[in-house]
Amino acid sequence: MQITFAPNKCHDFTCLGMITDVDTVFLVYPIWWYKMPMALYSLLEQVDFSGKNIVPVVGHGGSRLGGTDKDIQQLQPQANVKNGFEAYLHKTVRAEQQVEKRLAKFLTENGYTK
């Protein structure tokens, strides 16, 4: 099977130039065996988030952030990695009402909502 790419499509992360106008970036991901998905490691290696606030928002099965906040800071030393939000989602793939309420409270308390 041959894979071909359509012209004018971005196949690396250089197409994320629109983040220049953003102060805060929310990285939302599951924790897989104490790590972020590998695609996020690639993103953080290829895109310059210098001067940006990065907020991890994770779903996990018991490991909380799993140290991924430290991984993000190591990969993006010029970014400000903020305290993240984590939700235990072991038995469901959908956020339950209490998780939604906790997330809303987190966003409000940290000044991310208007």
User: Is residue 61 within 8 Å of 86, Cβ to Cβ?
Assistant: no
Average pLDDT, the chain: 82
Give yes or no for residue 2 having a pLDDT over 70.
Answer: no
Nearest to 47 by CA among 7, 16, 85: 16
Give residue 3's pLDDT band: very low, low, confident or very high (50, 70, 90): very low
pLDDT-derived band of residue 59, with 50, 70 and 90 as boundaries? confident
